[in-house]
Structure 1
Amino acid sequence: MTIPDNRTGRRNPGPGGAPALTPPTGAAVWARDLSMGIRFAAGGGREGWTRTLLTAVGVALGVMLLLVAASVPHLTNSRAERSEARYLAPTSHDLKPSPETMLAAGAGTEFRGDPVGGKLLRPDGARPPLPPGVAALPGNGEMVVSPALQKLLESPDGKLLRERLPGKITGTIAQAGLRGPGDLYYYAGSDTLRVSDPGVQRIEGFGDHRIPATMPPILLAIVILACVVLLMPVAIFIATAVRFGSESRDRRLAALRLVGADIRMTHRMAAGEALFGSLFGLVLGAVLYFVARQAAASVTVWDVNVFASDITPSPALAALVVVAVPLSAVGVTLLALRSVTIEPLGVVRHSTARRRRVWWRVPLPIAGVLVLLLNGKIMGGRGTVNPVLLAGGAALVLVGITVLLPWLVEAVVGRLRGGPVPWQLATRRLQLNSGSASRAVSGITVAVAGAIALQLAFAAIQGDYTKETGQDTERAQMSVALPSRDIATTRKMIEDFRATTGVLGVIAATETSVVRPGPPPNGEESVPNANLTVGDCPSLREMAQLPSCKDGDVFIVRDGTDDSYLKQTARPGAEVLLNYDYSIQRPSGPARLWTIPKSARDVAARKNAMGRETTGIFATPSSIDMAQLTEPVAQAFLRIDPAVPDGIEHVRNTAARVDPLMQVVTLRTTERDKTFASVQTGLLVASTATLVLIAASLLVATLEQLRERRRLLSVLVAFGTRRATLGWSVLWQTAVPVFLGLALAVAGGCGLGFALLKLIGKSAMDWSAVWPLPAAGAALVLLVTLLSLPPLWRLMRPDGLRTE
């Protein structure tokens, strides 16, 4: 036979000169050794399967979140398409009634802070357009509702809302007409809609594919950075998970060296074990993804809920996850083994002569900051956002923090001496092997650092996207406006609100427009006009600075600006026309004239509870015949008793009874930009999911470390060490790396946040946004440590001395 020469690869003739088989090389060698490693992982007994399961669970958690992240584009597009599908299709103002048209008006409301969308419909003929997800149009007094709204209306909590939506439920809205399973929406039939009513329009279909609003550059930059910040801990944990059980694996590889395997062969076998664990984790992660996908419909996070079909990953991104996870597992394993010397008689790991070096670690975060700043400043609506520079710079900073952590832990714990027995046990364990402890907390270190940077950026720009409304919530808490109706309805509205449960007071006035009789002066296109406001003295005092007031008084209210145009109409002793029709440029019927009393006094305007000033003619009820007013609009400000439960809901019910189209507004001192609010909500949802993953992954990593030390723990207990001592030692082993990791996270997060502030043209750092995040991280680690104590007690039993 021919004996192969392992040094030269040539065939050596054996006895008789018979040729021998050529040993496998290249890809065949890799395939052989990888398959051998897979056999070790799959057939290594209870020890091997425990290690494989821990790796698979860790990888599965990361894969599940990656698949969810890959579903975000489809999720946002699906929700946007369904929202656009139920918009009223834009039509021309002169659209004529036909069998295919209908009248429609928005009739949304709120219930205990949750928005309830809805529309009133009145068909013009027998073939009106159907809203998306609706099989049959509701008739007068009927409505079709979303499943979530139907459930709410039929529950005891929805009794108040049922009074507001009294229509008979004749059907439910399908998924095509809803943004999510928790969407509260309805369509109601109404035979009282008129095309002349404010907010009512004639349509011939549904669906308005509007051009999406472009996101401001600053928010776009924050979204890009948030993607890096949220996904980086996932990647780090997957890389950590494939190294679970590395110590026992390396001891087994040393035994393989003893029977003839070379170093490269053992490395490939280790890669095969990691490959099997990652593939198992990939399958398990897909299963967890489908389970989470089905459960998503019943979960609402930060007021966001989705259908299961919305969580569908992009094929390209899903394929990237499937390919990248196993390749990363093999790459991380081979890279980790470079620092391990596996010999036939044992394993030499991290020898003291070769300490971790810092010279190549510090430049990484510095380079990341410089790459970020290369993008140039992004201020307001100006500036160019380069996704490659932003994502690459943030990734470099976070990777730099990750590689700095092991050096920092090693450098600090190497100088710790003395102390109580639990402290000495913990520090000695960290001195022997600080790598696994550093890897366990690297994910939360990166997450906290990224969250600090994002919070600093949000705190700096929130003033740009939050404005003061000028509304005075001390004077009133709600505002209602009744569309143009007859004066009897207006009076009834005021009376009904004053009798509503929870209403302390009503400040009401009726407004209309009056014009000067005659043709436009000096060839102008329109005649001079002025507002006419009618109300009692307490109500008028809320809108003007009245020195005195009694029923029968009339005032001319000015705001101190150039009011020469107002003086052409609002003058003591002048006549005004009460029924002028602007659409036909003449009175609607016989002219109704009213003479402003000569006793009318000039007074200054005062901002109302909405923060607006009203000028023009103010009149008390007995000074004018209100029945002569044309299309009066009633405006009322309501003071709500905070001690009455659901006082606001009672007001909304009253408004719906008076007129479903009445505008009801809750006064607020500040108003937040919708795009900013949606970005913030999205980040909160994603951060919550990442935080849950970090907690689960940290628990798995802690359990893996305890499993690796179970024999040592059992030996210490057998020699009389108290369990409380060992419990405290485990706590300190976790607390020291966590403290160092959080300190590094604060420093790195502030550095990244400072770079972001420079990028967006801000300088002030809000330090109050920093401290809650390390506190939350510390609380999370404490929770995970407490959850790991029961397994710790079980591992310290004497039967832990058994071995296979």
Structure 2
Amino acid sequence: MIRLGLRLAVAGGREAISRLALIAIGVAVGAALLLTTVASLHAVNTQNSRYAWLETTFLGSNAPAAFTASGGSAPLSPPSSASSAASRAGTSDPLWWRLRADYFRGREIGRVDVAATGPGSPVPPGLARLPGPGQFYASPALARLLRDTPAGQLGDRFPGRLVGQIGSAALPAPNSLLVIIGHNAADLSQQDDVGQVTAISTTTPAACATCALGVGINDNGMTLILSVVIAALLFPLLIFIAGATRLSAARREQRFAAMRLIGATPRQMSVISAVESSVAAFAGVAAGFGLFYVARPALARIPFTGQPFFTGDLTLSLLDVLLVAVGIPAAAAVAAHVALRRVNISPLGIARRVTPRPPRAWRVIPLAAGLGELGYCAYIADIGADSDTSTHLQAAAFLTGILATMVGLVIAGPWLTMLCSRLMAGRARRAATLIAARRLADNPHAGFRAISGLVLALFVSTCAIGVVTTIAAYNGGTAGAVAAGRSTVVRTFDNGPTGSTGSTTSVPTVTWRALTSIPGVAGVTLIRRAPVFDPREFPPPGIVSCAELARAPALGRCSAGTGTATIRPVFGGGFVHGASPLADTRWPAAAVTGADLGRLPLSSIVVATDGSRSAVERARTVLDLAYPSTFPPQTLTEFDARNAQQLDSYRQLANVVIFTSLPIAGCGLAVSVAGGLADRRRPFSLLRLTGVPLAVLRWIIALEAAVPLVITAAVAAGIGLLAAHLFLRGQLSENLQPPGAGYYLLVLAGLVASLAVVASTMPLLARSTGPETARNE
């Protein structure tokens, strides 16, 4: 039977070869996309693991740390048990270590200051040795910036000279901006926020207890990314691969039914069908591996997490290779066996094309159950508002709800397609419309199968856009939204410019002159701490001179006739916030005279510029050198970007999902339409012989795909918005905001592209429905 199956698969003439080629191409594309998805997940974890060394000195990493305050006095955080274990295994010569952040043109720079205490001090990954005093290593991307940028804008921030580049083992991404600066141990030990370590951390941000702020993706973010990818990409992929393996299913059913009628047993038919399907699936899987490795360099440049990958990060494990290489052909064989169920039961019924039973209304129950679970999490359990509920439990609850809703859409789809067909038949005024409606009513499962991938893609895209645009709408009134936010540089102080409990009330003359002499600087504004305020107030109030505030329009303005004002600047916002723009705020008068103002400690230094890169970066450099700190001077836009970093990553993830799932679904639609044409060559050929114009046949095909697509797409979009609202309500206690015009343009573009896919298959109709088809079959 195996030999006969192979002969039937390849010895059936042009039709058999074409069928195998179509199945192999479809499986190849699906396998390549599946391999890309799996490899991308590995790349995310690999990229995240390269942040591990930056977690050194943070509690919860496995590198021992002893944080010290100003001058190395008192520990701020004791080492964890894991740190203690690493201490016993670490080197005998500790390493002084300080992690800081910096900014250049809106991009964050990771800066590590180190000082060895002996030849046995640990060395970070990517370096052959530690930099000495007056030396530093930079990542390749930062080294290029240092070479191409005037020193006053960037290079002057890093003392010493560049002696080498940081290797890829320490770089999360090819464009990472990192610098490791060497110091004398006696000097660095007296700086703020410095710690001693005897080993470099190997704990990734996804596993650390207390992570460095803004370093890597924590466990919650990793859970979200994996959940979204599983829900958003694997479903359309599996549907696409299943559709590819079902190409020419009707033609095979007829052939197998004829074989059953002449005496073939069900077991023999199952073996022949499995062999025929597996041959094409194996060829497609092999081609899919080739497509994946050819496209891997281009795929690595896609910023899946907001940053590109190294090509080598897109790897496959042995288990991944085996699952894809064996799983897809096995799934194709199982699908072929299932497709033979009606043949084995009644081969004569297949030969006579018995109409299957229509779908029932019970198919909407799983869809209602999925939405019900999301509604329960949002309004009854309210797990997002419960601080005792773990993030993993929240993610699991919402993920299962989303998955159940997606499964419900697939199950309810044929029933919705049947309703579409009845609506078309009741309003038909042309022969093409009536024939298309009757064909959909005859087999709504096949009609929906062609568009199921697009329906799921639209659901996922709508849900993602609804969540992200709602959060962006709540955050849209921040200072970073105006042009002045990009041109205003702010240096904030927690306990005065010195970083100690003592407070400074003035800026040194040399610093003031350096700032005001920069071309493009419009003025410098000093915000001082209010003498009396409630410690529970946030943000704490500040006092500012109205004359100086007039030079910084991004911070607002004083009431008329006042000399000093009470200001409450919010530099950056949370993940979701509704802060109004600072520039639109009129601050009230303060009960502080101009003479008393100079005696108040400084809270912030604000430098207003003309927005040019040179002015912004030179002002940042002056402030960075005058007041070194863990967090650098930032523009108002960068403050918002830092606090909304999670939102930016989610927006990037949503874009990847949208622009990946839609092409997958489009490929699935093309495969389904092409397969449908191959299955109906003889009926269409007979219609042409009876005088039906080719244009009518084209309208039939177009209507069969377009009408259920538009109606089910509207249903999927509505359910996607509802799911987004329930997620926002359950996780953030916010209500869905209507998507902007961009969403509707995206949906319209997706529908137009889908119809274009259908139209692209029309040339096959003329070539495959000629008179010879009816004669030969």
Same fold (TM over 0.5): yes
Q: Which amino acid aligns with 2:110?
A: G
The residue correspondences of 1:262-341 to structure 2 (distance < 5 A) are: 262=265, 265-301=268-304, 303-313=306-316, 319-322=322-325, 324-339=327-342
Which residue number in structure 2 is paired with residue 211 of structure 1? 209
Q: 1:205 to 1:368 in 2, by over 3 A?
A: closer
- In the superposition, relative to structure 1, how do residues 156 and 726 fare at CA in structure 2: closer, same or farther (>3 Å)? farther
Three-state SS of the structure 2 residue aligned to 1:180 is: coil
Cα distance in 2 for residues equivalent to 1:164 and 1:387: 42
Instruction: Please state if 1:54 is matched with 2:65.
Output: no
Equivalent residue number for residue 507 of structure 1: 525
For residue 639 of structure 1, the aligned residue among 596, 603, 608 is 608
Return the alpha-carbon distance in structure 1 between the equivalents of residues 265 and 92 of structure 2. 85
Change (3 A) 1:142 1:57: farther
SS for the counterpart of 1:383 is coil
User: Deviation of residue 725 (structure 1)?
Assistant: 6.6
Structure 1: unaligned runs, 5 residues or longer = 1-31, 514-530, 551-602
Task: Compute the displacement of 1:646 (Å).
Answer: 6.2
Work out whether residues 459 and 720 of structure 2, in 8 Å CA contact, stay in contact via their aligned partners in 1.
yes
For the 8 Å contact 1:449–1:748, the answer to whether it is kept is: yes
Corresponding position: 1:411 with 2:423 = no
Greater displacement, 284-293 / 435-444: 284-293
- Is the aligned partner of 1:440 residue 2:408? no
Q: Percent identity?
A: 24
1:378 pairs, out of 370, 373, 383, with 383
Specify the alignment match of 2:366 in structure 1.
364
- CA deviation vs aligned residue, 1:770-795 (integer Å, no higher than 9, x gap): x9667534422422443564563466
Q: CA deviation at 1:738?
A: 1.2
User: Is the CA contact (8 Å cut-off) linking 2:415 and 2:444 kept in structure 1?
Assistant: no
For 2:407 and 2:724, how far apart are their aligned partners in 1?
A: 15
2:34 maps to 1:40: no
* d(CA) in 1 for partners of 2:718, 2:152: 53
1:227 aligns with 2:233: no
Separation in structure 2 between the aligned mates of residue 407 and residue 223 of structure 1, nearest angstrom: 31
Residue type of the partner of 2:240?
F
TM-aligned CA deviation for residue 289 of structure 1: 3.5
C-alpha distance after superposition, 1:544-569 (max 9, x if no partner): 9899999xxxxxxxxxxxxxxxxxxx
Q: Which moved more, 1:378-387 or 1:339-348?
A: 339-348
Residues 253 and 266, structure 1, Cα contact 8 Å, conserved in 2: yes
State which of 141, 145, 151 in structure 2 corresponds to 1:148.
141
Relative to structure 1, is the Cα distance of residues 146 and 754 closer, same or farther in structure 2, using a 3 angstrom cutoff?
Answer: closer
Across the aligned residues of Structure 1 and Structure 2, the Cα RMSD in angstroms comes to 5.3
**Residues 646-655 or 357-366, more deviating:** 646-655
Q: Which structure 2 segments of 5+ residues have no match?
A: 58-64, 75-90, 212-216, 532-540, 572-581
1:163/1:423 CA distance change after superposition, 3 Å: farther
After superposition, the C-alpha distances for 1:108-154 in whole angstroms (9 at most, x for unaligned) are: 33333332222344545566542211123345554322233345555
Pick the aligned partner of 1:252 from 252, 255, 270: 255
Which residue identity is paired with 2:247?
F
Bigger Rg over Cα:
1
Mean alpha-carbon deviation: is it higher for 303-312 or for 727-736? 727-736
1:477 alignment counterpart: 488
> What is the identity, as a one-letter code, of the residue corresponding to 1:347?
A
Q: Which amino acid aligns with 1:357?
A: P
Match of 1:746 among 695, 707, 717: 717
Q: Secondary structure, in 3 states, of the residue corresponding to 1:116?
A: strand
Per-residue CA deviations over 1:503-557 (Å, capped at 9, x if unaligned) read 32221479999xxxxxxxxxxxxxxxxx99999963699999899999xxxxxxx
Distance 1:744 1:779 in 2: 17
Shift of 1:472: 10
Q: Distance in 2 between matches of 1:268 and 1:360?
A: 35
Cα shift at 1:445: 0.9
**Alpha-carbon distance change, 456 to 135 in structure 1, aligned in 2, over 3 angstroms:** same
Using the alignment, how far apart are the partners of 1:469 and 1:664 within structure 2?
A: 16
Moved more, 330-339 or 486-495: 486-495
Contact 2:304 2:653 in 1 (8 A): no
User: CA 1:465–1:135 in 2, change beyond 3 Å: closer, same or farther?
Assistant: farther
Higher mean Cα deviation, 477-486 or 714-723? 714-723
SS in 2 for 1:379: helix
> Against the structure 1 CA distance between its residues 549 and 373, is the aligned structure 2 distance closer, same or farther, given a 3 Å change threshold?
closer
Distance 1:382 1:460 in 2: 26
Q: Which has the higher mean CA deviation after the structures are superposed, 197-206 or 78-87? A: 197-206
**What is the number of equivalent residue pairs in this alignment?**
692
Larger displacement relative to structure 2 (43-52 or 149-158): 149-158
Q: Check whether the contact 2:97–2:115 (CA below 8 A) recurs between aligned residues.
A: yes
Match of 1:786 among 756, 766, 771: 756
Equivalent residue of 1:130, what SS?
Answer: coil
Per-residue Cα deviation, 1:315-352 (whole angstroms, up to 9, x for no partner): 6566555554334323333333445687479733352x
SS of 1:334's equivalent in the other structure is helix
Q: Higher helix proportion, which one?
A: 2
C-alpha deviation, 1:409, in angstroms: 2.0
How far did residue 83 of structure 1 move?
A: 0.8
Q: What is the TM-score normalised by the length of structure 1? A: 0.69
The CA deviation at 1:85 is 1.2
How many Å separate the matches in 2 of 1:634 and 1:216? 34
Distance in structure 2 (CA, Å) of the matches to 1:751 and 1:622: 53
3-state SS of paired residue (2:137): strand
Measure the CA separation in 2 of the matches of 1:512 and 1:757.
38
SS state at 2:174 partner: coil
* Conserved 8 A contact 2:43-2:314: yes
**What is the 5 A alignment of 1:604-643?**
605-607=566-568, 610=571, 635-642=604-611
Residue 270 of structure 1 and its aligned partner are, at CA, apart by 2.7
Is contact 1:448–1:774 with CA below 8 Å preserved after alignment? Answer: no
In structure 1, what is the Cα distance between the partners aligned to 2:402 and 2:723?
7
Deviations 1:189-240 (Å, cap 9, x if unpaired)? 4679654444455555532733267989999689747633432222222222
Q: Which residue of 2 is the match for residue 572 of structure 1? A: none
> Partners of 1:650 and 1:710 in 2: how far apart?
72
For structure 1, which segment, 86-95 or 398-407, has the greater mean C-alpha deviation from structure 2 after superposition? 86-95
Indicate if the aligned counterparts of 2:624 and 2:633 stay in contact, CA closer than 8 A: no
Deviation at 1:637, TM superposition (A): 0.8
Q: Distance in 2 between matches of 1:407 and 1:546?
A: 65
Structure 2: distance between partners of 1:509 and 1:764: 36
Matched AA of 1:382: D
Deviation at 1:427, TM superposition (A): 4.8
1:178 is matched with 171
- The answer to which of 434-443 and 477-486 deviates more is 477-486
1:665 and 2:673 are equivalent in the alignment:
no
Provide the C-alpha distance between the structure 1 equivalents of 2:670 and 2:158, rounded to a whole number of angstroms.
Answer: 49
Q: Secondary structure at the match of 1:768?
A: coil
Change in 2 beyond 3 A, CA 1:549/1:338: closer
Distance in 2 of aligned mates of 1:717 and 1:607: 78
3-state SS of 1:170 partner: strand
Deviations 1:279-305 (A, max 9, x none): 333333333333444444333346222
The one-letter code matched in structure 2 to 1:111 is F
Query: Which residue in the other structure is 1:63 paired with?
Result: 31
Deviation at 1:91, TM superposition (A): 2.6
CA displacement at 1:739 relative to structure 2: 0.6
How far did residue 180 of structure 1 move? 1.9
Counting only pairs closer than 5 Å after superposition, residues 483-562 of structure 1 correspond to structure 2 as: 483-484=497-498, 490-508=508-526, 538=548
Change in 2 beyond 3 A, CA 1:665/1:743: same
Secondary structure of the residue aligned to 1:133 is coil
Q: Which amino acid is 2:633 matched to? A: V
Q: Does 1:398 align with 2:398?
A: no
Q: Which amino acid aligns with 1:395?
A: L
